Copies of this chain bind each other. A is one copy, B any other.
Amino acid sequence: MTQALPCPPHRLLLEPIVRRALEEDLGRAGDVTSELVVPAERRVEALLRTREPGRIAGLICAEAVFRLLDTSLEFRFDVQDGSDANAGSGLATVSGLARSILAGERVALNFVGRLSGVATQTRALANAVAGTKARIVCTRKTTPGLRLLEKYAVRCGGGFNHRFGLDDAVLIKDNHIVAAGGLARALERARAGAGHMMRIEVEVESLDQLEEALRLGADTILLDNMSVDDLKRAVEMTKGRAVLEASGNVTLATVRTIAETGVDYISSGAITHSAPSLDVALDF
């Protein structure tokens, strides 16, 4: 899957998140250890490295951490977000006052570790489906407060973004269908009220529901928790009349088989909610 490096979030949106993370670590008294122990004028150069291979994301956060702490620090990107890195390879270099670098170290690493973890998990799924037409997409199962950044990490990993929130598309799920009194009424209401710039997706859990959705003209359908056999049948039944997204039981072991059923999108919550952090460090 070749694509340009993903576009990072505007600094206007990124900085408040980084600022809050710094405030959380600095507390009221700041980095007391460095202030007590490290001479005020000591300058160092530090290398941000990964100890494991992975797909990198979040260096833009590290840059913001050090800039917000001390505008006199110099930060150099050795690679860009969205790159692959080997174990031990350098990602970025920051140089300047040791106290300032030490004060930002942990917050910078927390961002890069977590977001690279998300990117690495996404890349694994994306690589596994390479050559099929299926795209890996994320969900709204993100860490509270970090959605913007985790969605970016998914793009860094070669994935695509589903909704950013409740407000940017309609997704009619089982509970909505029950509450509306059936799929037909739910779809009708959604179409009547939604603006023309808003997509409408319907979740179905069986081939019968799929048939009904297709009959009602749904053009984007989420196939939830179906077996591989049912997914194949769903693709055949649909005959290209709708975009099909598969979800449920998506793991590295299963994702290729799911992709080969012919669905268009495969969504995974685990790439954001359960990605282990990539092991990164700052070496002096």
Contact = CB atoms under 8 A, between A and B. Distances in A.
Interface of A: 3-4, 7, 9-13, 17-40, 42, 44, 61, 68-70, 98-99, 102-103, 106-107, 109-111, 113-114, 117, 135, 137, 140-148, 151, 160-173, 175-176, 178-180, 186, 189-190, 192-199, 201, 220, 243, 245, 264-265, 269-270, 273-274, 276-277, 284
Contacts of A3: 192-193
B24 A148 contact: yes
Contacts of A175: 98, 102, 284
Query: Which among A31, A110, A151 has the highest number of chain B CB atoms within 10 Å?
Result: A110
A35 B4 CA distance: 11
Q: Nearest 5 CB-CB pairs, A to B?
A: A21-B144, A27-B167, A274-B276, A29-B167, A273-B277
Given A37-B186, A110-B273, A176-B33, A28 B148 contact: yes
B141 A144 contact: no
Contacts of A25: 140, 147, 165-166
Contacts of A109: 141
Contact of A27 (B20, B38, B141, B166): B166
B176 A197 contact: no
Contacts of A164: 27-29, 167-168
Contact of A40 (B7, B186, B194): B7
Number of copies: 6
Contacts of A113: 141, 273
B180 A38 contact: yes
B165 A24 contact: yes
A167 B44 contact: no
Query: Which among A25, A145, A166, A172 has the highest number of chain B CB atoms within 10 Å?
Result: A166
Contacts of A39: 179-180
A143 B141 contact: no
A141 B22 CA distance: 13
Contacts of A163: 195, 197
A98 B179 contact: yes
Given A30-B166, A144-B145, A196-B199, 4 more contacts: A12-B19, A26-B165, A31-B166, A113-B141
